[in-house]
Amino acid sequence: MVYVDGEFTPALTDKRLSVISPATGAIIGTVPACGVADVDRAVTSARTAFDLGVWSSLTGTQRADAIDRIADNLSARAESISALITAEGGFASQFVASTHVDGALKFLRYYASLARQDSFEDIRPSPAIGAQAVVRRQPIGVVAALVPWNIPLLGALSKIAPALAAGCTVVYKPSPENPLLAYLVAEAVDKAELPRGVFNVIPADTEGSRHLVSHPDVDMVAFTGSTAVGRSIATTCAGDFRRYALELGGNAAAIVLEDAPAELIAKGLTATGLVMNSGQACIAQRRVLVPASRYDEVVSILAAAANALPIGDPTDPSTVIGPLITAEHRDRVLEYIKGAEAEGAVIAAGGNIPDTRDQGFYIQPTILADVTNDMRVAKEEVFGPVICVIKYSTVEEAINIARDTEYGLSSSVWTTDIARAEEIARQLRVGSVYVNGMIALDPTIPFGGFGHSGVGRELGPEGLAEYYQTQSIFLPAHQPA
């Protein structure tokens, strides 16, 4: 089934995508592998709804009421949603409800509040030409929302919420690794009774995904995922001058200063570098930069903390480190670790598949010492529970190491001197800098990256502005005689 034009309906394709449990390797469901025909049907539905104005012509308050109904419906399904996120993604259940579900629902509530507050136009005097202008914020049109597997609900609602608030219509394509969640989202939207065609859901294969991105009736592509795919999307959209917003990869540097407490390092850096989604997070603080005077101490602290992290069944409330998303991804992370060893790095903790896990796609949380910033493991996005500990001599050198990357999504500074941390943060070319910890995504604060970490911003008023076109209507200051 797919959700198109306001109803669940059989897919036009006979192809299927299998959903594999990362914890066991077993098939836990299948969905249609939608291709060109299903994509065309979904886009046509969204295009028709937008052109008819069944959504964009509503007031901001009317759209906000509908968005709040979606949030209410998802909230009523929160327990089922949490269980499904754990089953499909392998994420430790103890973190899912608060991070993946409650956090995502805040996005809907926030953008509903913005839609209520915004008149979507204002009048500005233009004395230079003896006129006044009505400046209108108009919805961009049909939005294709392509969502990653590591934040399936957060990634979806960070796009769907502002798009709907702005008056756009949406075609939502979940990741093929965990598409089942999208059906619970569709059920919540269906119950909220939006006009037909405003919201559509299609799981898709590679051919279908490419067709969606290149479809001439799609006005904007909103994507979270790898930099390589983001580059391809940007190239495709640029050919037709269609808008895109891209939240891409990261290679964060955590700068540990001389005075950072040992307990803060142990708890904070393992949480941000290893525990968060079992290291499968674009904002994971993966390159830990440590002063030479404390290097051996910090490596020892991190190794002990990593070895103490419980690995196991993600449905077990005591589990901290769950499996990686697929066998292929686990093997890719292991290759990074082996490659680092070959380049001279030392495994201080982890580095292999746990002996106790004979099913699923598990890997031990890993600390790599003696890493230099020119090693592949430090230059590329590993996207697994792997921390690289890199030595520096001066803070200026640490800043240069942190900046020596094509990415620019996030970084962090660890110290008791908050003023010094802010001073360092202002010198980093990244979208977000965290001081002494990782703060959950706040719907009011913009999120995004510099460089190869993306284009545009999600969340905050800036996230809503991504889904606008601006029109100016010039009116004479006086009525003609």
Instruction: Round to whole Å and give the CA distance between 386 and 375.
Output: 14
Give the span between the Cα atoms of 245 and 466, in whole angstroms.
7
CA distances from 116 to 55, 60, 139, 164 (A): 15, 5, 15, 12
SS3 146: strand
**Cα–Cα–Cα angle for 65, 188, 326, rounded to 5 degrees:** 130
Roughly how many angstroms between the first and final C-alpha of the chain, as a whole number? 62
Nearest-angstrom CA–CA distance, 176 and 397: 42
Of 416, 415, 402, the residue nearest 451 (C-alpha): 402
Query: Which H or E run includes 20?
Result: strand 16-20
Tell me which DSSP letter residue 439 carries. Answer: P
Beta-bridge partners for 137 = 470
Angular region, 25: left φ>0, alpha ψ -120 to 50, beta rest: left
d(CA 425, CA 312): 36
Torsion angle in degrees (nearest 10) through CA of 272, 154, 233, 227: 10
Strand partners, 468: 139
DSSP state of 12: S
Q: Which residues pair with 144 in a beta bridge?
A: 171, 221
- Rounded CA-CA distance 73/95 in Å is 21
Q: What single string gives the DSSP state of each residue in 435-465?
A: ESS-PPPPTTS-B--EETTEES-BSHHHHHH
What residues does 458 pair with on adjacent strands? 447
Q: Which active-site residues does the annotation give? A: 247, 282
Tell me the H-state helices in 308-446: 327-342, 376-379, 395-403, 418-425
